[in-house]
Each structure stands twice: as structure tokens, then as C-alpha cells.
Amino acid sequence: MAIYFHPWFLLLVMSSGAISEITILPGHDKHGNPESFDRIVIRPGDTLSIVGPTGSGKTAFINDIEVFACNDTSTGRTVLVNGEIPAEEFIRDPSKKPIALITQNTKCLADMSVEAFLAMHVRARKMSGSAIVAETIDLANQFTGEQIHPGCRITALSGGQTRSLMVADAILISNAPLILLDEVENAGIFREKVIEVLKEHCKSVIFVTHDPLVSLLSDRRLVMRHGGVEKILEPDGREFHIREMVARMDLTLCRFRERIRAGELLTEKGFTV
């Protein structure tokens, strides 16, 4: 399921695009203690999850990346692109910005059809071709069990549909190489499918998450505490058995969920995962 990208392949991607790596330099925690890591480097195709209790600074961490912190946020972190302070156009021009942030907020305020909404975003990006709107809706439909129709009102979509659409939009229309996803699991979308598609498109992803499966599917885990990064874990295959088990448990739970939603009574005895 996991696709491994050979470093040379990444080099090819780097040479064709502008971004080869994004680096996070340490700041300090809420008590002013410096963070212990030297630097965190994110390259195309990397997946990171950020874990830790509520209020430990997970969202602040991805917000630092989203605004390209320059020792000017409350955490004191600095974010570099290709090893340097990014050019201003990277930060300020959304069509050049290499980052898309999908927040926990799944409300969309625009009261228009899905099709018109995406078409408007395509126009704002000065892209051509109408096919991309249909492609985006198709991709979103791979992330959610509830079909999104092109004529649906955006405001009538469920949280899961909206989140699916936002993720698909970030991948295809924003075409951002780094996607930040804040608690993707909350919205009830197919997390494994999202991760698989993100890898297929060679996106780097940072998940803020409380979800065991999402955490275990990431290459690296950042553990947050008191507003700072406490630890960086690189399981490097050592969690393989647990990951497989959690994936099976997750599948089982998914099936139960679908059956409960369909109105069934679950009466099996001695069910094994």
C-alpha cells in the first residue's frame, strides 16, 4: 500500500518544481525553553504526523509553516524553503505559495454550487480547461462515502463532503506540494485513501492528528508538549506489525459503522479482527 519513492525520483521532482525541501528551525515552548531539535526537513512525498494532548501546540506548529514564520510568531520558529528565507512571492501570492492548509473548520461560506465554486477557484488561479472541475469532484468522491454531485450547494454538503472537496481542491487546483491537514479524521472521510492519493501525487503532508491509524501510516511522528516539539520519532518499519493490526481493526470498525448506519443489529458472536 505504501509507495516508496527512490531519492533520485525526488530529485527529478525537485528539478521540475521549485521546492526541494522545507525546513523548520526550532523556537521555544510556552515556558520559553528552547526546542531540542536541530532542524526538521520535509521533502516531497514525506508524511509527518503531529501528536500530543489538546493545547500542546499542534495547530500552532502547522500555522507556523503556513505563514512561513520568521521568528515572528509566538513560538519563535523559522521556516525556510530550499534552505533559505522564502521569497516574498512564495508567501504572499497564493498561486505561487507551495502550501495548502486544510483546517478543522469544515464550513464553507460560499452559497453556490460545487461546480461553480470550483470553477471560480480555477479562474482565480488563472488556469485553463474545464476538465479539472470534474476531476476534482471525482477525486473528492473517492474520499467520501456520500456522493458529491456537481450541482450540490456547497452550504448543503456534510462536514465529510466539504473536507473531501477541500482536500481534492488542494491536490488538483491549488496543486500545492505541501499540504497541512488539521485533524482529517474528524470529518469522517476515508483516511487511508487520502494518504494513498497524496503519496501518488508526491505531496508532502503534515497531519495534526489524534488518530492511531493516521499516526502509524506517517513516516515520522512529532510529539508535542507545552507548545514545543518534545520528540521526533522515526519508526522506520519497527511499528509494522502494530500498523497492520490497527489497519485491520480500522477496517472492522468501518464495516461495523456502515452496518450501524444502515440500520442493522450486530449480533455476531466471537468476531475476530
Partner 1 sequence: MKLIIIAGPPSAGKTAVTRQIIRHFLGKKKCAFLKIDVVRAFEDEELREEFHIPARKIYSGDLCPDHTGVMVLKDAIAWAEGLGTDIFIVESAGLCLRCSPYVTQSLGIVVLSAVSGMNSPLKMGPMISLADVAVITKTDLVSQSEKEVFREKTKEVAPAIDIIETNAIQGTGLRFLMRAIDQQAEITDPATILLRGIPPLGVCTICVGKREIGWQNHFGVVRKLDGADDIFRGD
Q: Which residues of this protein are in contact with partner 1, per CB under 8 A?
A: 63, 67, 70, 72-73, 88, 92, 94-95, 100-103, 105, 107-110, 117-118, 120-121, 123-125, 166, 169-170, 173-174
Give whichever of 182 and 250 is closer to partner 1, judged by the CB atom. 182
Q: Least distance in Å: CB of 182 to partner 1?
A: 11
CB 102 within 8 A of CB 180: yes
- Length of the chain (residues): 273
Q: Least distance in Å: CB of 67 to partner 1?
A: 5
Give whichever of 112 and 202 is closer to partner 1, judged by the CB atom. 112
Q: CB within 8 A of 91, min separation 6: which ones?
A: 67, 68, 97
Q: Least distance in Å: CB of 33 to partner 1?
A: 22
Give whichever of 18 and 124 is closer to partner 1, judged by the CB atom. 124
Q: Least distance in Å: CB of 131 to partner 1?
A: 18
Give whichever of 105 and 147 is closer to partner 1, judged by the CB atom. 105
Would you give the DSSP letter of residue 147?
Answer: P
Give whichever of 206 and 216 is closer to partner 1, judged by the CB atom. 206
CB 195 within 8 A of CB 205: yes
CB 170 within 8 A of CB 141: no
Greatest alpha-carbon pair distance for the chain in Å reads 62
Q: Least distance in Å: CB of 122 to partner 1?
A: 9
